[in-house]
Amino acid sequence: MKVTAYNAKIRLYDSTATPLYLELDFDVGNFSGPIGTPRNEEKLVLNRGVAGTGMHYVKGDDYKVMEPVPVSFGYFLQDVVQQTYLYHWLLAMNDGLTQTVNSHTLESTEADSQRDGSTANPVFADTNKSTCEIEWLSNTGGTDFGWKYSGVYFPLDQQTFAEAESDITLTLNGMCYGTITAITAFTSGTSVEA
């Protein structure tokens, strides 16, 4: 069986105890993101620049491990209620004072994962920045499969819309600061649309 974009869904989650989520009914079906987090660089150590029996690799610093990785996807502007919720979700991630969607208060996920495997990710110095989780799940007809992206920030100046004759799309461009893991089901939660 071939799995197509038709079989997948995207949800955004916050960090409350029972997470709030927004399931996107009109995503374009063009999600793009890595299936793993960056690793440390390996640095070759030679004896005065000469290859020999004592040459070896050492693990590089953690800057590369902790750098965010890009994720992106598109959304058709069709349902004015849902697109308003999505817009408010994006505003909440960029304004530390107003973090509500449909009267639900969102909590940031920025320090909820451990990119290096042992230390909680730091909170941002800019208190206006917040992150969310993204879950992409494909219905394969058997066991579902997808990925969870933790600590994704969507800066407003990097979200774009495009007008065409047949549709208007919003392209969401985020940076994932947390872990990336495989999933077989969506996380249980409460829809902000309720």
Segment 124-136, tens digit of pLDDT: 999 999 999 999 9
**Which ranges of the chain does DSSP label H, i.e. alpha helix?**
63-66, 80-92
* pLDDT at res. 78: 87
* pLDDT at res. 32: 96
Number of domain units in the chain: 1
| Structural domain for 184, as ranges | 5-37+69-191
Among 15-19, 75-79, 104-108, where is mean pLDDT lowest? 75-79
In a domain, 181, yes or no: yes
Are 76 and 26 within 8 A, CB to CB?
Answer: yes
Residue 142: pLDDT band (50, 70, 90) is: confident
In a domain, 56, yes or no: no
Segment 82-92, tens digit of pLDDT: 999 999 999 99
Q: Is 2 a residue whose pLDDT tops 80?
A: no
In a domain, 177, yes or no: yes
Segment 26-72, tens digit of pLDDT: 999 999 999 999 999 999 999 999 999 999 999 999 999 999 999 99
Residue 95: pLDDT band (50, 70, 90) is: confident
Segment 163-182, tens digit of pLDDT: 988 889 999 999 999 999 99
Q: Which CATH number fits the domain that encloses residue 178?
A: 2.30.110
Average pLDDT of every residue of the chain = 92
Are 16 and 191 within 8 A, CB to CB?
Answer: no
Are 170 and 158 within 8 A, CB to CB?
Answer: no
In a domain, 28, yes or no: yes
DSSP state of 187: P
Distance CA 7, CA 13 (A): 20
Cβ within 8 Å of residue 64, ≥6 positions away: 38, 39, 40, 41
* pLDDT at res. 141: 75
CA distances from 9 to 24, 63, 126, 145, 194 (A): 7, 32, 31, 11, 18
In a domain, 141, yes or no: yes
Are 77 and 83 within 8 A, CB to CB?
Answer: yes
In a domain, 58, yes or no: no
In a domain, 63, yes or no: no
The arithmetic mean of pLDDT across residues 67-82, rounded, is: 93
Residue 140: pLDDT band (50, 70, 90) is: confident
The reported pTM is 0.91
Q: Is 88 helix (H, G, I), strand (E, B) or coil?
A: helix
Q: Is 137 helix (H, G, I), strand (E, B) or coil?
A: strand
Segment 99-115, tens digit of pLDDT: 789 999 999 999 999 99
In a domain, 54, yes or no: no
* pLDDT at res. 165: 87
